C-alpha cells in the first residue's frame, strides 16, 4: 500500500505535530521524504528525539511492530514523529510491506525456541487490524 502525506508547516509550539509520535503496525515501511525534513525518531532507551535528515536519492527503511514481534525483538520498531518547523509544506510517500492477511507470524520461523519466544503465533492481518481497531475510537465503538 502506498500513502502520500503532505504536512503543513507548524507555526505553533514544538509539540504540535505534522504526524504525532507512533510506531508502524506492520513489517517494513519504505519512506521517501523531501528536502524539507521534519522526520524524527526516538532514541531507544531515552526520551531524546533525533532528526532523520533528508539524503538525496535515499529511502528511510523503518521496522514495524509486526516484524519486531516476528523477530522476537531482534529487530525493534522505532517510535517516530514529524514536526515541520520549516515554514514550507512537506511531502512524503510511504510504502508498507506486510505479509498476507492469513500468514502466520511466529518467532519460531526465525529460529527462536518456544522457551525464548516472547510472543505467540498470530495471523498477520488479525494483528494489524487489531492494532488499527485499538487506536481508532470510531472503530472501537463499531466493534462493541
Q: Domain-by-domain residue ranges, the chain?
A: 2-143
pLDDT at 136 over 90: no
Query: What's residue 5's pLDDT?
Result: 47
Q: What is the pLDDT of residues 17-35, one digit of tens each?
A: 577 899 999 999 999 999 9
Q: Which fold would CATH assign to domain 2-143?
A: Jelly Rolls (2.60.120)
Cα 31 from Cα 106, distance rounded (Å): 26
The model carries a pTM of 0.81
With bands split at pLDDT 50, 70 and 90, how would you rate the model's confidence at 4? very low
Is 120 strand, coil or helix?
A: coil
With bands split at pLDDT 50, 70 and 90, how would you rate the model's confidence at 37? confident
Q: Calculate the alpha carbon distances from 9 to 6, 14, 37, 41, 82 in Å.
A: 10, 11, 11, 19, 10
Q: Any residues with CB less than 8 A from the CB of 139 and at least 6 apart, and which? A: 132, 133
Q: What is the pLDDT of residues 86-115, one digit of tens each?
A: 888 888 899 999 999 999 999 999 999 999
Amino acid at each position: 500500500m502506498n500513502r502520500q502525506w503532505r504536512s503543513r508547516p507548524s507555526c505553533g509550539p514544538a509539540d504540535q505535530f505534522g504526524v504525532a509520535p507512533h510506531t508502524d503496525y506492520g513489517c517494513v515501511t519504505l519512506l521517501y521524504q523531501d528536502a524539507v525534513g521534519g522526520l524524527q525518531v526516538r532514541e531507544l532507551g531515552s526520551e531524546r528525539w533525533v532528526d532523520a535528515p533528508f539524503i538525496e536519492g535515499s529511502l528511510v527503511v523503518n521496522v514495524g511492530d509486526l516484524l519486531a514481534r516476528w523477530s522476537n525483538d531482534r529487530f525493534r520498531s522505532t517510535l517516530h514523529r514529524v514536526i515541520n518547523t520549516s515554514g514550507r509544506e512537506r511531502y512524503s510517500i510511504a510504502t508498507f510491506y506486510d505479509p498476507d492477511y492469513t500468514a502466520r507470524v511466529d518467532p519460531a520461523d526465525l529460529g527462536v525456541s518456544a522457551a525464548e519466544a516472547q510472543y505467540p503465533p498470530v495471523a498477520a492481518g488479525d494483528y494489524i487490524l487489531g492494532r488499527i481497531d485499538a487506536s481508532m475510537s470510531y472503530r472501537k465503538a463499531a466493534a462493541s
